[in-house]
Amino acid sequence: MKTLRFLALEEALKRQILEPKENISVPEEFGKCVFNKTQMRRYLSSEAYDGIMQAIEKGVRISRKVADQIALGMKAWAIENGATHYTHWFQPLNEASAEKHDTFFEPDKEGMVIEKFSGDKLVQQEPDASSFPSGGMRSTFEARGYTAWDPSSPAFILGKTLCIPSIFISYNGDALDFKTPFLRSLTAIDKAATKVCSLFFKDVHKVNVTFGWEQEYFLVDEALYFARPDLILTGRTLIGHPSAKDQQLEDHYFASIPERVKAFMQDLEIEAWRLGIPLKTRHNEVSPNQFECASIFEEANLANDHNILLMDIMRKIAERHHFRVLLHEKPFAGINGSGKHCNWSLMASNGVNLLSPGNNLQTNLRFLAFVSIVLKAVYEYNDLLKATIASLGNEHRLGGNEAPPNIISAFLGNTISSILNEIESKVAQNHLSVSEKKALTLDIGKIPEILLDNTDRNRTSPFAFTGNRFEFRAVGSSANPAAALIALNTSVAAKMLEFYDLVKIYQKKGKNKEEAILTAIQKFYSASKDILFDGNGYSKEWHEEAKRRGLSVTNSAVEALAAYIQPKNIQLLESFGILKHHELEARYEIRLEYYVKKLQIESRVLGNLVDNHIIPTALYYQQRLLDIVLKYVQVFQSEEKIDVHKKLIDELNEHISALYSLKVSMEEARKQANMIEDIKEKAFMYSNNVKPYMEKIRYHADKIEMLVDNQDWPLPKYRELLFIR
Ligand code: ADP
Ligand code: MG
């Protein structure tokens, strides 16, 4: 009988390349499915239009009357564009988006259908959402949470459904999603940055966070995917011997995109553009069958929604091309995993990118001020930042194969580092001679405007300055990036206020503004230099050094997550009204629960693979070898010349016994962990006692894969998953 693997291979090898569904004119179609400003102008009264603009720009509340008008216009637009349903679209704490569709149409008294969609349905919805993670914040008898419209992110049509971006909160006001605290953090940083801007500009009344993401992913043929229970159930391969060739020759990176993948990408781009997602680049990544797409940066709330939306449509469009998209951080052992680089900067209302160097002393003081503020935030809250990216998937990725190491450090590049060092050594001297002062200000004025070429050398730095922005690279490919950006925005906001106050203190002490700013830059830089690192992040020396510098060095996601409930971090997030203490406790708990549940599933799947796939295959091959031995002895009455056969039988025996006993021990460890009530203790048990068995089991399973007949092996091999496209 043919194994499922062979049936899958037959199917995968017969795949046709699907032409992209249609050819479109990009300018005409871009944003076609979005209720954007152009559509709002067409469908809304000027009162309604102004109301929504005020809400977006100034956070002004939308009145009931105006909400009704907006609902009317939005409905007309949606129905004209083929929508039949509407939903509040929100981001619960499970790293996906959620929707619950209601139709626009309701039967009236005469049995006819009428369209119904009013202001209150636009503004608020009550999904029966009791089974979303809440970390104990909603007891089941009071399980109602509600979703509320976020007017700052435009509604869009997905399929035949009008999607209304929303926040998700409980009845007593606790945030149950990513968007709520994310929006709050954007307000916090806006206020703080505007204050710091007043030191440099007269006309800045708002500062937006800009965010551009780069999304990495793998594609695997659908048939092969369905022949791997581990991929179906866990999103990654739990076993699989490395392919003889994978990424050593570096021949996949930036090579020409395989035709079938290109067709997928074209379809994806069309869909993304219609939804207003400005996808710009696409290319192969380092691992075989690994790819990346990146979008042009946008205001952060919108960019974040776009990333979540993109991950969703990616899955759907991959299916059309008989691919499955893997967003897991480490789908394959031994080769690169996938991350989501988050390019982050600040855009003032006068159009200045605050992290972009200028061409004179003034602009570069502004630039260095903001750089030193970000550095101090990342230094003081490196543990919190690390907690936001810690997950079971990222635990496999970080610290291996070109991923950033598991220690958050920052990288500035030579130009900026040396100018900051110069400032440090000179300003700290206090009494600069006139000529020294002149030399220093001259040097600051001379920072090249374009730094892009010489900044990005350290590709594995977790937090790198890349010319006019910072790039947070430790974020996992499947994560909702808002989790990381909430921490980044808030910690930076805190340091902005501190910086502003410091400048004011120096001014009071008699320094002129320039000197006061320069001194504040020096103080900030000196206090946070320990976050800077430009060496080999994987070395043992760095680990030791980082520990000495007080940075979080743990490799364990479970340990790293505890930073969510560190008093210093609670204080930070509470003081800006981002999340309250019990909300942070809840988030911490939810993340631990996810860790445990995912590991439990992985460990069960692995156990099943051992029992139902690997051991039976090994025994079958062993039985054939034994048959040969038996018959040989019968025929030749001698045991000479069958040494190899016996050796193979022995080898198989060793691996089978090891596999079996390790599996039993893993089950035992799991049982013990399952008996523990306390989630923190349970997560530690899973991480310390269950997880290590998985590596050991994998070792023997992969050995068996290499020993038995290729014809018998039931699971698609790495070389097939990675090279068939
Ligand atoms: P690389 O692979 O070299 O990092 P990419 O072109 O793939 O470069 O990605 C760069 C990303 O950085 C894009 O998403 C781009 O829009 C984003 N970016 C550029 N400038 C800014 C900025 N000021 N703020 C935020 N993101 C930015
Ligand atoms: Mg990048």
Give the pLDDT of residue 140: 45
* pLDDT grade for 210, boundaries at 50, 70 and 90: very high
**Ligand 1 nearest atom to the CA of residue 355, by list position:** 23
d(CA 230, CA 516): 59
Residue 122 burial (CB count, 10 A): 25
Q: In sequence order, which residues have a C-beta less than 8 Å from that of residue 134 and are 6 or more positions away?
A: 93, 145, 170, 174, 176, 586, 590
Closest protein CA for atom 2 of ligand 1:
214
Is the distance from CB of 693 to CB of 662 less than 8 angstroms?
Answer: yes
Tokens of 350: 């006068």
**Are the C-beta atoms of 406 and 424 separated by less than 8 Å?**
no
With a cut of 60, say whether residue 52 has pLDDT above it. yes
User: Would you say the CB of residue 216 lies under 6 angstroms from ligand 1?
Assistant: no
pLDDT band at 106 (very low <50, low <70, confident <90, very high): confident
Amino acid occupying residue 17 = I
How much is the mean pLDDT over the chain?
A: 91
Q: Say whether 56 sits in a helix, a strand or coil.
A: helix
Q: 193 CA to middle of ligand 1, Å?
A: 21
* pLDDT of 437 over the 80 cut: no
Closest CA to 473 of 326, 339, 378, 291: 339
Please tell me the number of the ligand nearest to residue 467's CA: 1
Is any atom of ligand 1 closer than 6 Å to the C-beta of 343? yes
Provide the pLDDT for residue 592. Answer: 96
Residue type, 388: T
Q: What is the pLDDT of residue 453?
A: 52
The 3-class SS string of 550-599 reads CCCCCCCHHHHHHHHHCHHHHHHHHHCCCCCHHHHHHHHHHHHHHHHHHH
H-helix or E-strand containing 88? strand 85-89
Residue pair 406/351 in contact by the 8 Å Cβ criterion: no
CA of 182 to the centre of ligand 2 (A): 22
- Ligand 1 atom closest to 353 (CA): 23
Dihedrals phi, psi of 120, to nearest 5 degrees:
-70, -30
Pairing of strands 340-348, 470-472: antiparallel
- Tokens of residue 598, six digits: 């995912």
Ligand nearest to the CA of 341: 2
- Supply the pLDDT for residue 640: 81
Helix (H) or strand (E) holding 43: helix 37-43
**Do the Cβ atoms of 167 and 90 come closer than 8 Å?**
yes
Contact present, 289 and 244 (Cβ < 8 Å): no
Q: Could you give the CA distance from residue 225 to residue 15 in angstroms, rounded to a whole number?
A: 14
Query: Alpha-carbon distance 208 to 345, whole Å?
Result: 9
Mean pLDDT of 478-497: 98
When pLDDT is cut at 50, 70 and 90, the band that residue 426 belongs to is: confident
CB 301 within 8 A of CB 185: no
Whether residue 461 has its Cβ less than 6 Å from ligand 1: no
Of 211, 343, 454, 469, best ligand 1 pocket probe by most atoms within 8 Å of the beta carbon: 343
- Residue 623 burial class via C-beta count within 10 angstroms: exposed 0-12, middle 13-18, buried 19 and up: exposed
b/e per residue 352-379 (b: at least 16 CB within 10 A): bbbbbbbeebebbbbbbbbbbbbbbbbb
Share of the chain above pLDDT 90, in %: 74
Task: Pick 302 or 28 by higher pLDDT.
Answer: 302
Phi and psi angles of residue 635, each rounded to the nearest 5 degrees, phi first? -75, -45
232 CB under 6 A from ligand 1? no
Residue 19 identity (one-letter amino acid): E
| Contact 345 CB / ligand 1 (< 6 Å) | yes
Q: What is the mean pLDDT of residues 26-44?
A: 92
Contact 488, 410 (CB under 8 A): no
Tens-place pLDDT, residues 465-474: 998 999 999 9
Q: What percent of the chain has pLDDT over 70?
A: 95
Asked if the domains at 31-177 and 186-579 fall in one CATH topology, the answer is no
Residue tagged 């009550």 (tokens):
126
**For ligand 1, is residue 297 a contact (CB within 6 Å)?**
yes
- Check pocket membership of 294 for ligand 1, CB cut-off 6 A: yes
Q: Which of 27-31, 47-51, 272-276, 332-336 has the lowest mean pLDDT?
A: 27-31
Instruction: Fill in the amino acid letter for 12.
Output: A
pLDDT given at position 128: 63
Are 525 and 426 within 8 A, CB to CB?
Answer: no
Per-residue pLDDT of 132-184, as tens digits, reads 777 766 554 455 688 999 999 999 999 999 999 999 998 888 999 999 999 99
Domain ranges of the chain: 31-177, 186-579, 594-723
Query: pTM of whole model > 0.75?
Result: yes
- Ligand 1 centroid to Cα of residue 630, in Å, is 67
CB-ligand 1 contact for 464 (6 Å cutoff): no
Query: CB within 8 A of 464, min separation 6: which ones?
Result: 410, 411, 455, 456, 458, 470, 471, 473
Q: Could you tell me where the DSSP H helices lie in 286-397?
A: 300-320, 361-380, 382-389, 392-397
Q: What is the pLDDT of residue 141?
A: 46
Q: Identify the pLDDT of residue 116.
A: 76
Distance 191 CA to ligand 1 centre (A): 24
CATH class for domain 186-579?
A: alpha beta
Taking the C-alpha atoms of residue 532 and residue 225, their distance in angstroms, rounded to an integer, is 42
Asked if 474 and 488 count as a contact pair (C-beta separation under 8 A), the reply is no
More confident call, 207 vs 429? 207
Domain 594-723 has CATH 3.40.50.300: no
| Pick from 56-60, 94-98, 121-125, 210-214: least confident | 94-98
User: Band of the pLDDT at 358, cuts 50, 70, 90?
Assistant: confident
Residue of 122, 124, 179, 151 whose CA lies nearest to 49? 151
CA distance 278 to 31: 9
**What is the per-residue pLDDT across 257-284, written as a single tens digit (0 to 9) for each?**
888 999 999 999 999 999 999 998 888 8
Check residue 143 and give its pLDDT. Answer: 53
Residues 72-105: tens digit of each pLDDT: 999 999 999 999 999 999 999 886 777 777 888 7
- d(CA 472, ligand 1 centre) in Å: 11
Check pocket membership of 211 for ligand 1, CB cut-off 6 A. Answer: yes
- Residues contacting 65, CB < 8 A, separation 6+: 119
Is residue 284 within 6 Å of ligand 1 at its C-beta?
no
Q: What tens digit of pLDDT does each residue of 290-339 get?
A: 999 999 999 999 999 999 999 999 999 999 999 999 999 999 999 999 99
Q: Poorest-confidence range of 621-630, 633-642, 667-676?
A: 633-642
Residues 6+ apart with CB under 8 A from 334: 242, 246, 401
CA of 343 to the centre of ligand 1 (A): 6
**C-beta 252 within 6 A of ligand 1:** no
pLDDT at residue 692 tops 60: yes
Q: Which tokens hold the place of 602?
A: 């992985």
The pLDDT assigned to 654 comes to 97
Quote the ligand 2 centre to 379 CA distance (angstroms): 21
For ligand 1, the distance from its centroid to the CA atom of residue 359, given in whole angstroms, is 22
The DSSP element (H or E) to which 292 belongs, if any, is: strand 290-295
3-state DSSP assignment of residue 517: helix
- Residue 498 phi, psi (nearest 5): -65, -40
Q: What is the pLDDT of residue 562?
A: 97
For residue 441, the model assigns a pLDDT of 80
Closest CA to 462 of 512, 380, 402, 513: 402
> Pick from 198, 205, 90, 209: which is nearest to 491 by CA?
209
Token pair of 98 as six digits = 């959620």
Q: Which fold has domain 31-177?
A: Ubiquitin-like (UB roll) (3.10.20)
d(CA 114, CA 106): 5
Residue 524 CB less than 6 A away from ligand 1: no
Nearest ligand 1 atom, CA 456 = 3
CA 58 to each of CA 29, 238, 485: distance values in angstroms, whole numbers, following the listed order: 30, 50, 21
What integer pLDDT is reported at residue 219 of this predicted model? 97
Alpha carbon separation from 204 to 58, 198, 199, 373, 706 (Å, rounded) = 14, 7, 10, 18, 65
Distance CA 141, CA 233 (A): 31
Would you mind telling me the total number of residues written for the chain in this entry?
725
> In angstroms, what is the span from residue 218 Cα to ligand 2's centroid?
17
Q: For residue 298, give the ligand nearest its CA.
A: 1
Q: What is the pLDDT of residue 521?
A: 97
Report the pLDDT value the prediction gives residue 457, as an integer from 0 to 100.
Answer: 65
C-alpha 586 to ligand 2 mean position (Å): 32
Q: What is the DSSP letter of 699?
A: H
Using alpha carbons, select from 365, 355, 349 the residue that is nearest to residue 513. 365
